[in-house]
Amino acid sequence: MNAPAALTMDNEVQTFTADAWGQLSVRVGRFVDEIAARRDLMTVVGIAATPELAGGRPAGAYSHTTATVTIDAAQTLSPSDDPNQIDLRDRRDRARFPVLTGVAVHEAGHAAHTVRRGRLSKAVGAWAALLEEPRMEGRVVARRPQDRVWLRSSASHLLGSCTASSASSAARLLILVGGRIDAGVYDRCDLADLAEVAGEFLTEKQIGIVVEQTRVAVALDDGDVDGLVRCAESIAAAIVDEFDDADVDSEGSDGDDGAGCSPQHGASEGAGDEIAASGKNTSLRDALAAMARRTAATAQAAEHLTPPSAAAARATTAAENQRQMIAAAGRVASTGRLAHSVRRPTDGELAQSLRLNRAVEGALDRGERTQHIPQAVPPGRMRIRELARREGQIAAGVIPTATPWSRTRRTVVEAPPWAVGIAVDVSQSMEPVLEISAVTAWMVNRAAVDRGAAATVVWNAKAANLPAESIGGAVYVPEAGGVSDGLPEALLALDSRLQLTSGAGTRLVVVITDADLPNLDEIYHQAEQLASSQTRMLWLIAGQINDGAPSQLTDRVGGLPGVTVVELDDPARVADIVGEAIVRLLEAE
C-alpha cells in the first residue's frame, strides 16, 4: 500500500497517497516536456521534493546531472488542492494553479535554455547564475509568449523576499527584477524605481555597470557561456561580495540553476548582516506580489473561473467596442471610393524609389549569427588541443568529455516585422500636396514588397483605401474635394488593414494634413489608442497651405509618446521625410 504524503500549509494538513503525487508528476512532466522541447526529462512533484539548501528549500529546482525537474508542492499548491484533479496541459487548470504552472515553466526554461558553465570562482559563478535567470526567461517568452503570464503569476515564489540590504543584494535585485524587465517578462510600469531602491547601497557607477551587464547578458544566445561569464566578471569586479575566490563548480549537481532569490545565491546576507527592509524595499516587494496576484486573477477571469472586476469588465467592453469599430471602418474603407487619377512615375521618381528600397533593405539587414558547435565525433574541424585532452582522459581511465571536432553553423538573423500606414487628407485645401503624397505612398508600397506591409487611406468627409500596384509603375493620385473630418475613420481603417494596435514589430502611421480639422477629440482618442500600442506616428503638417498649423492639434497630439510633428514648408520633401523616418525606425529595432 502506498505511503501517504501530507501537504501542510497554514497549520492545515491534507493527506494524499504517494501514487497521487506520482501521477501528478507524470502529467506535469508532459507539460514540462512540451515547453522544454525535450523527451529525456524526469519531473517530480511532491512534498519537500526540492533539495534542502542553506537558508531554505526552493519552490522548484532543475539538475543538469540527472535531467530532473523537481517542484515542491507545499510551496506551489494550497492544502485544499487535490493532485488527482490537476493537469497543466489543460489551460483552465493552468489558470487554476498559476504558481505551480509558473514554477514548472521556469524550471522547464532552465532545461531548454541553460547550459553548464564549468568551473568558475565562487563569486563569478554566483553572478553568472543570477544573470542566467532573466536571460533564460527572456528566451522562454520569446519562443512561447503565452508563458509570460505564468512567470509573472509566480513572481513572488521565483524571487522570494528580494529586498536590498547590502551592495550585493541590491545588485541581485537589479539583475533578477530589472533583468526580467529588460527580457520582456515584467512591465516597468508595474514596479518601483529599482535604481532608487538600489541607490541606498550602490553608487551610480556600480548601478550603471550592473544594469549594462544585465542587459548584455539578457540579449545573449543560448550556449554563449563566454559572454555570460564576461558579464559576471564585470559585476564581480564592481561589487564587493562576500564570496571567496575558491574554484567551485558553478553548476552544482543538485542546484536549482538559479530560481530567483533562493538561498544558494546568497539572498540571505547572514543573521548578523540583516537590515530591516526600508519603505522602498517594502514597496517593491508589495508591487511584485500585487503584480503576481493581478496577473493570476486576469488569467482566471479569462477562463471564466472568477468573475472579472468592474474595471476589468469595462476594459474588456472598451476593447471589444474598439475592435468592432476597427473592423467596421476597414469594411467601409475597402468598399468606399474617392475620385483619383492614374499616371506613370517619372524617371526621377523611379530613381528615388530605388534609393528608398536600398535604404530600407540596408536598415533591415541584421547580418548572420555564427555558432561554433563542439563535437566529440567527426565531421568538423579538428581541434588539436581538445584531441590531446581526450587522449589524456582516455589514458587516465576517465570518461572522455573533450570535443576534438567543431563545426560552424551560420544562420541569417531575421529582421523584425514592420508596417507603414499613410493617411492623406484630400480635402479641398490639400490640393497642392496631393501629387507628392501619392508618389510617397507609391514608393513606400514598393519598398514594403516582400519586406513588410504598407497601406494608404485617403479621407475627407469619409475614408477610402487608395489603390496601389506593388509591381510596375502606376501612381494613383487622389483628387481634392470635400471637408476634412474623416481622419478617425482613416486611422481605424489603417488599423484594420495592418493590425497596428494588435500587431508586433515596427509600426508607423504617417498623417499628411493641413491640420484644419474639426473633430480634435475623436482624432486624439484614436491617436492615443495607437500610441498606447507602441505605434509611432509622424504628422506632416502642411503649414504653407494653412498659414501655420493650429497649435491646439500639435500641442495635444504631439504630447503623446512616439509622436513626431513636422511642419511641412516644402511639399517636395514629403517623400524624403517619410523615407528617413522609416529607415530610422528600422535601424533602431
User: 98-113 and 122-143 helices cross at what angle (nearest 10)?
Assistant: 110
Instruction: Please give the average per-residue pLDDT across 562-586, as a whole number.
Output: 87
Percent above pLDDT 90 for the chain:
35
Q: Which residue has the cell 558553478?
A: 250
Q: Are 285 and 75 in contact (CB under 8 A)?
A: no
Identity (one letter) of the amino acid at 559?
Answer: G
Q: Specify the pLDDT at position 270.
A: 36
Task: Give the residues across from 60 on adjacent strands.
Answer: 71
| pLDDT averaged over every residue in the chain | 83
Q: Are 83 and 45 in contact (CB under 8 A)?
A: yes
Concatenated DSSP letters for 65-77? Answer: TTTEEEEEHHHHS
* Separation of alpha carbons 475 and 443, rounded Å: 9
User: 574-588 and 431-447 helices cross at what angle (nearest 10)?
Assistant: 30
Cell of 455: 497601406
* Separation of alpha carbons 90 and 94, rounded Å: 6
Say which residue, 4 or 198, is predicted with more confidence.
198
Say which residue, 261 or 409, is predicted with more confidence.
409
- pLDDT at residue 311 above 80? no
From the CA atom positions of the chain, what is the Rg in Å? 29
* Separation of alpha carbons 581 and 588, rounded Å: 11
Instruction: Please give the average per-residue pLDDT across 362-374, as a whole number.
Output: 83
- pLDDT at residue 412 above 70? yes
Concatenated DSSP letters for 10-60? Answer: TTEEEEEEHHHHHHHHHHHHHHHHHHHT-SS-EEEEETT-SPPBTTB--SE
- For CA atoms 151, 152, 155, 157, the dihedral sign is negative
- pLDDT at residue 332 above 50? yes
Domains of the chain in start order, with CATH, are: 4-302 (no CATH), 340-345+416-588 (3.40.50.410), 367-412 (no CATH)
- pLDDT at residue 11 above 50? no
Instruction: Please give the average per-residue pLDDT across 309-322, as a whole number.
Output: 80
Q: Specify the pLDDT at position 273.
A: 38
Instruction: Please give the average per-residue pLDDT across 131-154, as a whole number.
Output: 92
* Separation of alpha carbons 504 and 483, rounded Å: 34
Q: How many other C-beta atoms lie within 10 A of the C-beta of residue 177?
A: 26
* Separation of alpha carbons 466 and 344, rounded Å: 16
Q: Specify the pLDDT at position 264.
A: 37
Instruction: Please give the average per-residue pLDDT across 168-192, as a whole number.
Output: 88
Q: Specify the pLDDT at position 45.
A: 93
- pLDDT at residue 513 above 60? yes
- pLDDT at residue 36 above 50? yes
**Phi, psi of 205, deg, nearest 5:** -65, -45
Per-residue pLDDT tens digits for 217-274: 999 999 899 999 999 999 999 986 544 444 333 443 333 444 333 433 333 333 333 3
In whole angstroms, how far apart are CA 349 and each of 62, 303, 388?
60, 54, 64
Instruction: Please give the average per-residue pLDDT across 494-520, as a whole number.
Output: 89
Instruction: Please give the average per-residue pLDDT across 316-327, as a whole number.
Output: 87
Concatenated DSSP letters for 232-246? Answer: HHHHHHHS--S----
- pLDDT at residue 485 above 70? yes
Q: 519-527, long-range: CB within 8 Å, 24+ apart, which pairs?
A: 519/485, 519/487, 519/488, 520/552, 520/553, 520/556, 522/488, 523/487, 523/488, 523/491, 523/553, 523/557, 524/556, 524/557, 525/488, 526/487, 526/488, 526/491, 526/492, 527/491, 527/557, 527/560, 527/563
Concatenated DSSP letters for 499-547? Answer: -TTT--SEEEEEEEE-S--S-HHHHHHHHHHHHHTT-EEEEEE-HHHHT
Instruction: Please give the average per-residue pLDDT across 434-438, as a whole number.
Output: 91
Q: Specify the pLDDT at position 545.
A: 45
| 549 membership: H or E segment, kind and range | none
Q: Specify the pLDDT at position 569.
A: 78
Query: Residue 128: which residues within 8 A CB-CB, separation 6 or more?
Result: 117, 120, 228, 229, 231, 232, 250
Q: Are 7 and 79 in contact (CB under 8 A)?
A: yes
Q: Specify the pLDDT at position 4.
A: 41
Say which residue, 112 or 285, is predicted with more confidence.
112
- pLDDT at residue 126 above 50? yes
Identity (one letter) of the amino acid at 235?
Answer: I
pTM: 0.54
Q: Are 62 and 82 in contact (CB under 8 A)?
A: no
3-state secondary structure of 91: helix
- For CA atoms 183, 185, 188, 193, the dihedral sign is negative
Q: Specify the pLDDT at position 31.
A: 93
Q: Specify the pLDDT at position 472.
A: 63
Instruction: Please give the average per-residue pLDDT across 403-430, as a whole number.
Output: 87
**Phi, psi of 254, deg, nearest 5:** -110, 10
Look at strands 68-72 and 119-121 and give their pairing: unpaired
Q: Specify the pLDDT at position 338.
A: 87
Percent above pLDDT 70 for the chain:
87
Name the pLDDT band for 503 (thresholds 50, 70, 90): confident
Name the pLDDT band for 281 (thresholds 50, 70, 90): low
Identity (one letter) of the amino acid at 6?
Answer: A
Of 6-10, 350-354, 510-514, 516-520, give the lowest mean pLDDT range: 6-10
Of 43-47, 280-284, 395-399, give the lowest mean pLDDT range: 280-284
Q: Are 444 and 478 in contact (CB under 8 A)?
A: no
Q: How many other C-beta atoms lie within 10 A of the C-beta of residue 179?
A: 27
* Separation of alpha carbons 426 and 513, rounded Å: 8
Name the pLDDT band for 451 (thresholds 50, 70, 90): confident
Query: Residue 146: which residues within 8 A CB-CB, separation 6 or more?
Result: none
Which of 177, 178, 139, 183 is closest to 158 using CA atoms?
177
Query: Residue 201: which residues within 8 A CB-CB, separation 6 or more?
Result: 164, 165, 166, 167, 169, 170
Q: Which residue has the cell 543560448?
A: 222
Per-residue pLDDT tens digits for 373-406: 888 878 888 888 888 888 888 888 888 888 888 8
